[in-house]
Amino acid sequence: MLKRIICPVKWASFALFAAVLSTNTYAQQTDLTKYVDPLIGTAHSRWFFFTPGAAPFGMAKPGPSTNAHNGNAHGWDAVGYDYRDHSIEGFANFHEFQVGGVVFAPITGKLQTVPGKLTEPENGYRSEFDRKDEKATAGYYSVLLKEYNIKAELTATKRVAYHRYTFPASNESHILFDIGNKAGESGEVKDAKVYMTADGRIEGYVITRPVYVLKYQPGAQVEMYFSAVVDKKPTSYGTFHGEQTASGQKEASGKGAGLYLSFNTKAGESITIKAGLSYTSIANARLNLQTEATGLTFDAVKKKTYTEWNDYLHRIEVESPIKEDKVKFYTGLYHALAGRGLASDVNGAYPKNDGTVGHITLGKDGKPIHNHYNTDAIWGAFWNLTQLWAIAYPEYYSEYVKSQLLIYKDSGWLADGIANSKYVSGVGTNFVSLIIASAYNVGIRDFDIKTGYAAALKNETDDNNRPHGAGKMDVDRFVKYGYVNHLDSGKGSGELWQYSASHTLEYSFSSYAVAQMAKQLGKQADYKELMRLSKGWESIFDPKLKLMHPKTADGQFISNFKPSQAWRGFQEGNAIQYTYYVPHDPVGLISKIGKDSFNARLDSIFMLSQKQAFGGGTKIDAFSGLEGLYNQGNQPNLHISWLFNYSGKPSLTQKWVRTICNEFYGTEGVHGYGYGQDEDQGQLGAWYVISSMGLFDVKGLTDIKPTLGLGSPLFNKITIKLNKKYYTGNQFVIEAKNNSQANRYVKSFTLNNRKLHTPFITFADLVKGGKLTLNMSAQPTDKY
């Protein structure tokens, strides 16, 4: 039907051949992108979740939209691409937390300039499609738009989006540049402009006001710029605002602004768009385009991005006869590397918090010494992303810390979540200080230590003129009382007053983390005060109920207490779930509950929660499990299954972690990360990756000498390639002998021929390189 559609089998063979020819060590291995399925879990997924055209950590994240123009009323709603939908309205190039827009769409026939409704696809430029005509993998996406018989393909470099549209024979082929309309989480459009230059380049910008930007930094805005070249000259062109078109016009401005190009096409003729992107200026979008895309065809970039993804995926190689487990693993790893994308240009320009443009220092090679990134809140990421980064991607962890310190230097405060450096906290806490301390603990220290420590300390203890967007707006009460006193009413949004108990637990944890950094830096007074604060959890532990129980300023536990109630003292969870939120002192918590009671209670929680798919059952809603006993689909619970390692029952950690990996995680569009759960830029995927390897630090690498708890790997052999810039070892191998679904328990652990008597290894031992051997058995063992 379309002459230039590449046969999938031939393309796979070509790609594998190209990888073998590559001089890159990792790329010489097998094609791991064949195990990446970005469509998994896309029902009810977040705006930034489905960006198959992107390179790792890229700025350019082209992807299809099914419902993006509906916007995002609350700022976090699932919008963009939904597996249950059957029509596509266009292809947006920006996909980040609170950032989205610059939509391209190819059509034929009558010129239509509004996307139309899902229920009425014929009344807009959207088109129906079939799953059989859709392909998504790491760095590439294609789909046949049935309405127009157009094949759309997407790929990208770091900052340049590539679109290739293969048209049928038509005298009415069009490409729309829908710039001035809201897309996904971008919020309402404040201003926009699109124009065609004398040489045929399409350029412009869109300025939006996302919900969370308005909430956390009123008056701020998000700016997106692009400069695109099209490889075919149009026969005609024009602009539009909604349904109103203006033939022959080259420029449109304001909300709803768009531009169209019209072509005469032959059957199977392809038109390619290269779109340089930037958050600072059109000039820098042009520079990014020139630097990264000059002379590179769509196929060349597709091949290049394929190789780059393989390089990243091959940092961790797993061996198993169970294909489904490998698909879950590499799709999870893909999501961990696709989120939190570039926000700086090739010349180091980046958007500052105050709306101006900053410039990262250039090295001797004329390139920026590090990059800047957009990022959702780091809430809970110490139980997934940062552990994964520390083990296999320390260079990115380093860049993340340096990027966060730019915000601190520019605004005076760390910012948990940022959209173009604007505050978008989202949860009202701020764990960036913990992340900085953890990086220091594992030996990632090539950042400004003095500034990093000052920022971390300020984040834990200072409330003087603290902006809402820096989170922890009740830290003064935490410092005063040693816990956050409970309020049943207050002014402003909930995180300002509503989450006394969960904030107490979170602030205790992050205080402990920064205390360890203070100790290593010889800051004894700071260490003493931070350690006092780290014990705040003890203040709200109810010895009668053996649960966390919110407490008022006079030291009394609140009345009318319902342990399963969410949102009263606990953010996105309840007292039962949050009682286990003492990751920095699990032994202390177990002692207060009693070891036998702890084990019996937690084991029964998992038995009951298994019946609810370890969350909210099969209900498709990000918050469906908030009032349950356990909720794998949200951040506060992600360490709990690993606590048995501290309570003398490591076999229960082995049992339940494996079961969660097998049952909570799926390989379908609807059952992916639970059922429509809230996968925050790779966190749930990263949890699967490290947990399925049998490695996890409950403490989030906050100890001075971090350890990793050991579990039951799903894979027979795991090889981790270590970064020699940061670590002395070449690789760390985990081998599980006699491993099977039945043999899910570890009979013995041996590290470099030395028997281990506890289910822990030090992080230092891992990064020295070596081999961990596990003998597996069908029978549980708790003593080694």
Task: Say yes or no to pLDDT of 24 above 90.
Answer: no
- Alpha carbons 391 and 762: distance in angstroms, whole number: 12
Say what the pLDDT of residue 28 is: 56
pLDDT band at 622 (very low <50, low <70, confident <90, very high): confident
> Which residue, among 657, 662, 648, has the nearest Cα to 781 in the 3D structure?
648
Query: Taking all residues of the chain, what is their mean pLDDT, rounded to a whole number?
Result: 95
Cβ within 8 Å of residue 674, ≥6 positions away = 613, 614, 615, 616, 625, 632, 633, 664, 665, 684
Task: Say yes or no to pLDDT of 131 above 80.
Answer: yes
Say what the pLDDT of residue 323 is: 97
How does pLDDT run across 387-445, given as a tens digit for each residue? Answer: 999 999 999 999 999 999 999 999 999 999 999 999 998 788 999 999 999 999 999 99
Angle (CA) 149 151 154, round 5°: 155
CA distances 611 to 78, 137, 271, 614, 712, Å, are: 25, 32, 51, 7, 22
Say what the pLDDT of residue 16 is: 37
> Which residue, among 272, 257, 254, 251, has the nearest Cα to 202 in the 3D structure?
251
Angle (CA) 228 229 231, round 5°: 150
Q: What is the mean pLDDT of residues 736-746?
A: 98
The residue with greater pLDDT, 26 or 62, is 62
**DSSP summary character for residue 636:** G
- Alpha carbons 327 and 343: distance in angstroms, whole number: 30
pLDDT band at 177 (very low <50, low <70, confident <90, very high): very high
**DSSP summary character for residue 722:** P
- Give the percent of the chain with pLDDT over 70: 96
- Return the residue matching tokens 């957009």: 374
Say what the pLDDT of residue 11 is: 36
Task: Say yes or no to pLDDT of 23 above 70.
Answer: no
pLDDT band at 670 (very low <50, low <70, confident <90, very high): very high
pLDDT band at 121 (very low <50, low <70, confident <90, very high): confident
SS (H, E, C) 258-298: EEEEEEEECCCEEEEEEEEEECCCHHHHHHHHHHHHCCCCH
- Alpha carbons 209 and 219: distance in angstroms, whole number: 8
- Alpha carbons 143 and 130: distance in angstroms, whole number: 8
> Which residue, among 657, 656, 658, 663, has the nearest Cα to 740 in the 3D structure?
658
CA distances 162 to 55, 265, 469, Å, are: 11, 19, 35
Say what the pLDDT of residue 17 is: 38
Say what the pLDDT of residue 265 is: 98
The pTM of the full predicted model, rounded to 2 decimals, is 0.95
How does pLDDT run across 345-359, given as a tens digit for each residue? Answer: 999 999 999 999 999
Task: Say yes or no to pLDDT of 690 above 90.
Answer: yes
Task: Say yes or no to pLDDT of 8 above 80.
Answer: no
pLDDT band at 609 (very low <50, low <70, confident <90, very high): very high
The residue with greater pLDDT, 476 or 16, is 476
> SS3 of 352, please?
coil
Task: Say yes or no to pLDDT of 342 above 90.
Answer: yes
- Alpha carbons 340 and 93: distance in angstroms, whole number: 15
> Which residue, among 354, 382, 376, 362, has the nearest Cα to 438 in the 3D structure?
382
Task: Say yes or no to pLDDT of 152 above 50.
Answer: yes
Give yes or no for a contact between 581 and 505, defined as CB atoms under 8 angstroms apart: yes
Task: Say yes or no to pLDDT of 1 above 70.
Answer: no
Give yes or no for a contact between 115 and 242, defined as CB atoms under 8 angstroms apart: no
> Which residue, among 186, 248, 253, 252, has the nearest Cα to 221 in the 3D structure?
186
Say what the pLDDT of residue 14 is: 36
Say what the pLDDT of residue 48 is: 95
- Give the percent of the chain with pLDDT over 90: 92
